[in-house]
């Protein structure tokens, strides 16, 4: 149970369509992962179209890296295994080698599989010099050895997908093993609008809700910030209704929830 989740492709519950914006990232992942995993026969000839064993997603927190990893597994029809760098190194100091070996032999059985390593910098960060714990160093070396040991035939169906907010902390040896690095950026106004539309499709919004105004008012927000803002705004009519109820006599007609207004979002910032 050092792996936080093993999920078969049909049970992940997230698809590319649930992710707003990030069109270039989805396109790159389609070419690098989805096609080779779904149609390996198209990539098995010659030398040019070799599948890559490792991809790094990097960028600010909350921009959808974890969400992308999960949706990617759904789209590629691969099992999804998720491990978190900091949990591995803090919890499992003693058994580093054994655990890493188990993870990779497990992966072989699960292929096609995407092994998502969140906070890859804490597992495979720059060599920590004199202060680095011996077990962390052993874990890293073991991980890299097992990774290098994947046979080409298997590597088509086993992908290590790392994610980090701190790409500069990564060791050169790791960077080399993650030859494809994809920047997952904060959304601009147009993309914030796309993301907001995904979160708000099911909501009761005021007539002609001004998405563009909300998108312009949320400069610097990540997808995760936008989600939190929407949740906070959605509470406002509920709070109002509860206040209303307090003021009414018991047998008055119950008030209804009003639609969400742009102002709910602005007030919730
Ligand atoms: P961290 O670096 O902090 O781990 P992350 O980049 O992995 O963050 P996620 O955990 O994927 O970010 O995003 C957090 C939540 O924000 C997601 O579960 C999702 O609800 C929402 N979210 C972020 N970006 C998007 C997006 N582009 N479209 C839809 N939802 C998004």
Cβ atoms of residues 82 and 118 within 8 Å: yes
CA–CA separation, 82 and 115 (whole Å) = 6
Per-residue pLDDT tens digits for 31-83: 999 998 888 888 877 777 777 778 999 999 999 999 999 999 999 999 999 88
Residue 145 alpha carbon to ligand 1 centre in Å:
31
Give kind and range of the element (H or E) at residue 116. Answer: strand 113-118
Residue 226: CB atoms within 10 A of its CB come to 24
Residues contacting ligand 1 via CB (< 6 Å) = 19-22, 61-67, 118, 163, 165, 195, 198, 223-224, 227
Give the whole-angstrom CA distance, residue 228 versus residue 107. Answer: 35
Which pTM was predicted?
A: 0.87
pLDDT in tens, 120-164: 887 766 655 555 667 677 777 888 888 888 765 566 688 999 999
Ligand 1: residue of 57, 62, 195 to mutate (most ligand atoms within 8 A of CB) is 62
Span between the terminal Cα atoms of the chain, in Å: 39
Q: What is the DSSP letter of 56?
A: E
Rounded-to-integer distance, Cα 48 and Cα 44, Å: 10
ipTM confidence: 0.96
């Amino acid at each position: 149970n050092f792996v936080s989740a093993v999920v078969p492709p049909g049970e992940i519950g997230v698809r590319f369509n649930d992710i707003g914006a990030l069109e270039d990232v989805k396109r790159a992942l389609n070419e690098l992962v989805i096609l080779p995993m779904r149609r390996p026969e198209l990539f098995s000839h010659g030398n040019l179209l070799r599948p890559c064993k490792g991809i790094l997603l990097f960028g600010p927190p909350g921009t959808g890296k974890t969400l992308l990893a999960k949706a990617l597994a759904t789209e590629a029809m691969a099992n999804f295994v998720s491990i978190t760098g900091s949990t591995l190194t803090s919890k499992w100091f003693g058994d580093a080698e054994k655990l890493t070996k188990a993870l990779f032999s497990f992966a072989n059985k699960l292929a096609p599989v995407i092994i998502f390593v969140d906070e890859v910098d804490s597992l495979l960060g720059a060599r920590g010099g004199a202060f680095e714990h011996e077990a962390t160093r052993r874990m890293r070396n073991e991980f890299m050895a097992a990774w290098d040991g994947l046979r080409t035939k298997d590597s088509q169906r086993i992908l290590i997908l790392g994610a980090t907010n701190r790409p500069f902390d990564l060791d050169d040896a790791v960077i080399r093993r993650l030859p494809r690095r994809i920047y997952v950026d904060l959304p601009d106004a147009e993309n914030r609008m796309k993301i907001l539309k995904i979160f708000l499709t099911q909501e009761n919004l005021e007539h002609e809700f001004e998405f563009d105004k909300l998108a312009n008012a949320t400069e610097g927000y990540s997808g995760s910030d936008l989600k939190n803002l929407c949740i906070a705004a959605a509470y406002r009519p509920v709070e109002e209704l509860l206040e209303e109820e307090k003021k009414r006599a018991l047998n008055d007609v119950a008030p209804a929830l009003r639609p969400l207004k742009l102002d709910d979002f602005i007030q919730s910032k």
